[in-house]
């Protein structure tokens, strides 16, 4: 495999971009080697600048539910471009997008469009603070909600990968208002609530955590959080930037039947364009300017091109339930195949999966929270990543990330992934 153009580009990029990348996890720091630079993508494949093709299981960290370069999305964007790219004024498409989101996501009564998941989560906690008049928030260790200051405390995703889950630059004044609890531990939440009575504005979590590697809520946990927040007047926020429209049409909240007060969204709702959204109960969202006093704004919020891409994606998901049937089948087929191969090799690594998301942890212990996820052998994961890459399968370049499958994965491609997996596991052990 020849990767000289990627190497040249990476060396050159580092002259102008911090670390040579526009998002840290892309730098391959956790898996060694240097990142490959992508030239194009289609269906289940990405192609690098040296002409190598890879079956890929990141799908731009989630958005490409239908595979890359879907004609559905591409044609909608091209059509929208003919009318101009941005107006900074209301458009009909934004109204249609909001109405569709409200209809598809159980918790949404009103919704505001923004440009990223980070903007969505930052805005959601601000409105929760404005609505309750309280300052503190609870987040889970290892969960990632984007790079807003309040969240860069025991954060997951690239923050774990880069080794700074508590980032410099976040002031003590900010950090003191972020309370931490282990995922799947209701007693810890009760203790925080008792110790901070009447001071907690919101509890935010990934209902199904993807940012420490896929980690599922245990039986009764989400409902337990719902009950505590209802009792205490705490705004329950489900960060569904990853799980929204992936785990079900209505996301994790539909799949688990637990309805938060606010929901944050991103990734899939933009169909690959920069889109985020936050929304929920009308009585809370009407605190958002200009309806209410909580300020939040954005030049490109509701951008017509991004809305065209998002609408094409959501309309398709709304009218094609077979997408989710297929995603469930692909997830089951691939994860069962990996478990079977590992078993035949006498390897009992933990594989967590749900629908079209999964993570293979290089630990035999169950992974139910940040502490147990961190028991994984990240060195061995790095060797696995490189071994799979060499065989033409591109995984997330970190143990602490979920993988995301798309409907572009055929049985034949699943077979190729499993063959590469078996060869890689033999090579690294």
Least CB distance to ligand KE4 at residue 267 (A) = 7
CA–CA dist 7, 37 (Å, integer)? 8
- Binding residue for ligand KE4 (CB under 6 A) from 118, 335, 356, 406? 118
Residues in 248-287 at the binding interface with ligand KE4, rule: CB under 6 A: 266, 276
Rg (alpha carbons) of the chain, rounded to whole number = 21
Q: Which stretch binds ligand KE4 (CB under 6 A): 65-73, 142-150, 314-322, 349-357?
A: 142-150
Identify whether 144 is a catalytic site residue: yes
Cα 233 to Cα 107, 129, 132, 261, distances in angstroms: 17, 12, 8, 10
**Considering beta carbons, is residue 31 or 193 the nearer one to ligand KE4?**
31
Among 20, 67, 130, 146, the residue binding ligand KE4 under the rule CB under 6 A is 146
* Binding letters toward ligand KE4, positions 24-53, x by CB under 6 A: -x----------------------------
Q: Rule CB under 6 A: choose which of 239, 254, 261, 369 binds ligand KE4.
A: 239
Supply the DSSP symbol for 66.
T
Of the candidates 236, 227, 275, 258, the residue with the CA atom closest to the CA atom of residue 131: 236
Number of residues near ligand KE4 (by CB under 6 A): 21
Cα–Cα distance measured from residue 355 to residue 392, given in angstroms and rounded to the nearest whole number: 24
**Catalytic residue status for 267:** yes
Binding mask 7-26 vs ligand KE4 (x if CB under 6 A, - otherwise)? Answer: ----------------x-x-
Helix (H) or strand (E) holding 237: strand 235-239
Contacts of 221 (CB under 8 A, 6+ apart): 184, 186
Q: What is the smallest separation between the CB atom of 36 and ligand KE4, expressed in angstroms?
A: 15
CA-nearest of 233, 232, 181, 175 to 209 is 181
349 a catalytic residue: no
Per-position DSSP letters for 76-98, written without gaps between them: HHHHHHTT-S--SS--HHHHHHH
Residues involved in catalysis: 144, 239, 267
Q: What is the contact surface with ligand KE4 in residues (CB under 6 A)?
A: 23, 25, 61, 116-118, 121, 144-146, 157-158, 206, 210-211, 239, 241-242, 266, 276, 401
């Amino acid at each position: 495999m020849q990767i000289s153009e990627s190497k040249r580009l990476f060396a050159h990029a580092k002259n102008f971009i911090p670390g040579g990348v526009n998002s840290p996890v892309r730098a391959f720091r956790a898996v060694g080697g240097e990142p490959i630079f992508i030239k194009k993508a289609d269906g289940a494949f990405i192609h690098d600048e040296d002409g190598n093709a890879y079956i890929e299981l990141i799908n731009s960290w989630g958005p490409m539910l239908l595979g890359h370069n879907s004609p559905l999305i591409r044609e909608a964007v091209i059509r929208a471009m003919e009318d101009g790219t941005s107006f900074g004024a209301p458009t009909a498409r934004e109204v249609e997008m909001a109405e569709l989101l409200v209809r598809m996501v159980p918790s949404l009564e009103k919704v505001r469009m923004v440009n990223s998941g980070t903007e969505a989560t930052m805005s959601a906690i601000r409105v929760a603070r404005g609505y309750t008049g309280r300052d503190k928030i609870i987040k889970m260790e290892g969960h990632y909600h984007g790079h807003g200051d309040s969240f860069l405390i025991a954060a997951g995703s690239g923050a774990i990968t880069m080794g700074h889950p508590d980032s410099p630059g976040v002031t003590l004044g900010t950090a003191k208002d972020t309370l931490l609890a282990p995922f799947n531990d209701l007693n810890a939440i009760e203790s925080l609530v008792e110790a901070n009575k009447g001071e907690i504005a919101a509890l935010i979590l990934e209902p199904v955590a993807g940012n420490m590697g896929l980690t599922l809520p245990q039986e009764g946990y989400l409902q337990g959080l719902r009950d505590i927040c209802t009792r205490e007047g705490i705004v329950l926020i489900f960060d569904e930037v990853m799980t929204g429209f992936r785990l079900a049409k209505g996301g994790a909240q539909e799949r688990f039947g637990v309805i938060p007060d606010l929901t944050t969204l991103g990734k899939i709702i933009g169909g690959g364009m920069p889109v985020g959204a936050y929304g929920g109960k009308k009585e809370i969202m009407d605190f958002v300017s200009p309806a209410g006093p909580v300020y939040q704004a954005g030049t490109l919020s509701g951008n017509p091109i991004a809305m065209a891409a998002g609408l094409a994606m959501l309309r398709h998901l709304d009218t094609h339930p077979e997408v989710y049937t297929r995603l469930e089948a692909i997830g089951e087929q691939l994860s069962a195949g990996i478990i079977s191969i590992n078993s035949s090799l006498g390897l009992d690594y933990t594989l967590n999966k749900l629908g079209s998301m999964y993570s293979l942890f290089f630990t035999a212990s169950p992974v139910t929270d940040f502490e147990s996820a961190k028991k994984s052998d990240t060195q061995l994961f790095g060797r696995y990543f490189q071994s799979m890459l060499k065989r033409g399968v591109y995984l997330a370049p970190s143990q602490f990330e979920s993988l995301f499958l798309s409907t572009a994965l055929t049985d034949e491609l699943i077979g190729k992934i499993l063959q590469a997996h078996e060869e890689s596991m033999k090579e690294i052990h």
